[in-house]
Chain A
């Protein structure tokens, strides 16, 4: 956080020391020689990847290719069999990160009010009650969230619950944010709304974000880079750059640039599907 945030929040006015420039350009996450097998199926075999800093990366690929497995290994939910994952040269337990589950219903704590759910990771960091309160309130204000956080999650709509989950992941001011198909359990209307929320949050915080998606339109629309994976053992089939300015809107979806990149991604995807 200490490195990523100031670099992104404060637009340096012209002069920038070369050292900072180098730090800024250096990849945030470096993955080397990652291997993972489930029973006899090889999911990853000596997989390498650099995740750039301050970008939103969408991960897309054929079913069962290991999209979720990848972010789960990066986020430490599943141990890799082999390989190394470093964050600015540091290990996972030395950094702060946020993780948003697909199943918000089971990821939130129903016995805590939304507010206390969001504050929970701060409690785990040993932060006092008053400070926790202040930090959550600051986050709420910063994101312009207008839902009543004194309610319990189970009385909220799916979208509101997932928004609470995302806030819970953001409250620690993570250096990197992982989202595993965060909107796939929501209806279409709510999905569109939540995409906008996520984009706003990303523009606001500039946190390096890795989003697993099963919806190509969403993957391209939200991303700076789209990571296309091949069937297992998963390889990087392509790592497409999409640099349309933010905020992107519904109009973006019909831009020539967007349509072309989406078509390219689909082509790569189809090629990989046919291989299997």
Chain B
């Protein structure tokens, strides 16, 4: 029994596919709306070697760009804000307000600012992700264990040293929480932007176009590709975290 445990995660997958086959076989759902798993995975395989693969790479590019920009701004800014609680408290409302504003509501504004190109999609996604990361980094720095800061101080660390040797590392686990949430949000925003803002490519465009043309296998394929991308990005950040923030949660 113990040896079979690594296979547990596949139970759900097999179950889902089985239910799907059953639904198609019994024609519980209109076959036009729900193609068989075989047809869908064939469309996914074919698509990823062709147009869908191109769209996939486009979405990866936009999401990556936005998260890189967001992190490059939010991490240093979060450290600065977090290291002075007064400064953070004075900006807290603004950050919380825009963090709570649906980023999709900002599309029109960014369209006016950047036009209909990639810049708009990337910058809206970066904007949304940035606030999530900023908030987490600042809190990570602010919640640095007091004893640890005192310990560094007692050992003769200067203020700058305390910041770089202790606060920065103390905030890393929380920073990764921010990065993981940020990348998920960035992907959502990018995919939505690809659907509606005069887009020519990307997974969002692919889903939307397939739906418009009623090519259901292609649409499901694009949805699965987007799902795999989201899951993969999260996993990637988890692996990076486990590698570099080995003390997280310990």
Give chain A's interface residues, CB within 8 Å of chain B. Answer: 75-77, 99, 101, 103, 106-111, 120-121, 124-125, 152, 154, 168
Which of B145, B148, B154, B245 is A76 in contact with, Cβ under 8 Å? Answer: B154
A102 to B161, CA, bound (A): 23
Contact B151 A107 (CB under 8 A): yes
Which residues of A have CB within 8 Å of B166?
109
B140 to chain A, nearest CB (A): 14
Query: Is B243 on the interface with A (CB-CB < 8 A)?
Result: no
Give 8 nearest A-B pairs by CB, closest first.
Answer: A110-B247, A106-B147, A121-B155, A154-B250, A124-B156, A106-B145, A107-B151, A99-B154
Q: Which residue in chain A gives the minimum CB-CB distance to B245?
A: A111
Q: Which residue in chain B gives the minimum CB-CB distance to A99?
A: B154
A224 to B172, CA, bound (A): 45
Q: Which residue in chain A gives the minimum CB-CB distance to B250?
A: A154
Which residues of B have CB within 8 Å of A125?
156
Query: Is B29 on the interface with A (CB-CB < 8 A)?
Result: no
Contact A77 B150 (CB under 8 A): yes
Which of B148, B161, B172, B250 is A124 in contact with, Cβ under 8 Å? Answer: B161
Which residues of A have CB within 8 Å of B150?
77, 101
Contact B169 A124 (CB under 8 A): no
Contact A103 B156 (CB under 8 A): no
Give chain B's interface residues, CB within 8 Å of chain A. Answer: 145-148, 150-151, 153-157, 161, 165-166, 169, 172, 245-247, 250
Contact B247 A111 (CB under 8 A): yes
- Quick one: given A110-B247, A111-B247, are A101 and B155 in contact (CB under 8 Å)? no
- Please name 6 pairs of A and B residues whose Cβ atoms are closer than 8 Å in the assembled complex, sorted by A: A106-B145, A107-B147, A111-B246, A111-B247, A121-B156, A154-B250
A195 to chain B, nearest CB (A): 23
Q: Which residue in chain A gives the minimum CB-CB distance to B148?
A: A106
Which residues of A have CB within 8 Å of B156?
121, 124-125
A114 to B8, CA, bound (A): 37
A152 to B147, CA, bound (A): 18
Which of A75, A77, A107, A152 is B247 in contact with, Cβ under 8 Å? Answer: A152
Which residues of A have CB within 8 Å of B146?
106
Q: Which residue in chain A gives the minimum CB-CB distance to B155?
A: A121
B177 to chain A, nearest CB (A): 17
Contact A77 B154 (CB under 8 A): yes
- Quick one: given A76-B154, A109-B166, A124-B156, are A101 and B246 in contact (CB under 8 Å)? no
B166 to chain A, nearest CB (A): 7
Q: Which residue in chain A gives the minimum CB-CB distance to B244?
A: A111
Which residues of B have CB within 8 Å of A99?
151, 154
A108 to B250, CA, bound (A): 12
A106 to B150, CA, bound (A): 10
Which residues of B have CB within 8 Å of A109?
148, 165-166, 169
A125 to B145, CA, bound (A): 23
B172 to chain A, nearest CB (A): 8
Contact A101 B147 (CB under 8 A): yes
Which residues of A have CB within 8 Å of B161?
124
Which residues of A have CB within 8 Å of B245?
111
A107 to B148, CA, bound (A): 5
- Quick one: given A109-B166, A121-B156, A124-B156, are A101 and B151 in contact (CB under 8 Å)? yes
A152 to B169, CA, bound (A): 15
Contact B157 A124 (CB under 8 A): yes
A77 to B152, CA, bound (A): 11
